[in-house]
A and B are shown apart, each in its own frame.
Chain A
Amino acid sequence: MSTNTKPETTIKANPDLPTIEIVREFDAPPERVFRAWTDPELFAKWVGPRNLTTKVDHWDCKTGGGYRYRNLRDGEEIASFFGSFHEVRTNERLVQTFTWEGQPDGVSLETMTFEALGDGRTRIVSLGVVESMEIRDMILSSGMDTGVVEGYEKLDELLAAQR
């Protein structure tokens, strides 16, 4: 049950379409993964980089609902995001839009499926679609300037302390 097989995230950037596909498996049943994704308090705990705080301003997670949240560093806002929940199909599927307010004309459409693997495990497939190849590639490159390495080190410490 609690075997800790190393989970691996896979990323596919289609060479002909402006999409990013992310696949990851979790050692928890779909109901729990879905809740961690749709409950604003739980979502805020994991979504942002470790050195940032996520503050949810608005969260109405139902078909036709919407959301907005901000990332803070030392109390100072550094990024904010908003979108609509196009479809919320409990424990199965989540379709939403996503906009970074720093680029208000940009929007991606994200479809997430929660696939039960049996044995209490879940596979998440997230397919994001943006307007152009250029924007897709810009999104892929965004990891360049977020102090990623420092973030990993902190995360490693945290995980070592927890397990």
Chain B
Amino acid sequence: MAEDELSRVFAALADPTRRGIVARLAVGDAGVVELAEPYDVSVQAVSKHLKVLEDAGLVSRSRDAQRRPCHLEAEVFDLMTKWIERYRREAEERFTRLDAVLADMEAEEAPETQEPRRKGAAS
């Protein structure tokens, strides 16, 4: 998945109403009117939100029927999970370097000492 596509996914989910719609669709497919019910907004406003979710590839809508139920594309969320995992690994990489620095510091602080748990008297 291209990076700008992922940016669109995250931008789409940056809105609380759209996150609410996604949460509702996670339970099962639903039409626009149903989706608009919990919100104090027009059906048109919800349609606009749906368009953003569709453009981000999060939601698909069947073309044929009048009701055009909306469907959540769950695999997009798998990609997002991988993406956050990449960020996590980057942080882990940084902290692994910090582990090495801490190990060096321990060696320098107490080269001869047998009691690594006590703070060294010298500093």
A residues engaging B (CB < 8 A)? 1, 7-11, 13, 15-16, 22, 24, 26-29, 31-33, 35-36, 42, 45-47, 49-50, 120, 132-134, 137-138, 140-146, 148, 151-152, 155, 158-159, 162
Contact = CB atoms under 8 A, between A and B. Distances in A.
Interface residues of B, number: 36
B16 A31 contact: no
A141 B3 contact: yes
Interface string B79-112: 0000110111111111111111111011001000
A152 B93 contact: yes
A11 B105 CA distance: 27
B88 A1 contact: no
Contacts of B91: 9, 11, 22, 24
Q: Which of B7, B11, B91 has the most CB atoms of chain A within a 10 A radius of its CB?
A: B91
A16 B20 CA distance: 11
A32 B90 contact: no
A35 B120 CA distance: 14
A113 to B, nearest CB: 15
Given A133-B13, A137-B11, A140-B87, 12 more contacts: A9-B88, A15-B19, A26-B95, A35-B105, A36-B102, A46-B94, A49-B93, A120-B116, A141-B6, A143-B86, A143-B87, A143-B90
Contacts of B63: none
Contact of A27 (B10, B84, B97, B102): B102
25 contacts: A1-B117, A7-B96, A9-B88, A11-B87, A11-B91, A15-B19, A24-B92, A26-B99, A31-B119, A32-B102, A32-B109, A33-B98, A35-B105, A36-B101, A45-B101, A46-B94, A49-B93, A133-B14, A134-B11, A137-B13, A138-B7, A140-B87, A141-B6, A145-B3, A155-B97
A49 B116 CA distance: 30
A46 B93 CA distance: 9
Given A134-B11, A141-B7, A148-B86, A16 B96 contact: no
Most chain B beta-carbon contacts within 10 A, residue among A9, A16, A24, A29: A9
A49 B103 CA distance: 19
Given A120-B116, A140-B84, A152 B89 contact: yes
A8 B92 contact: yes
Contacts of A33: 98, 102
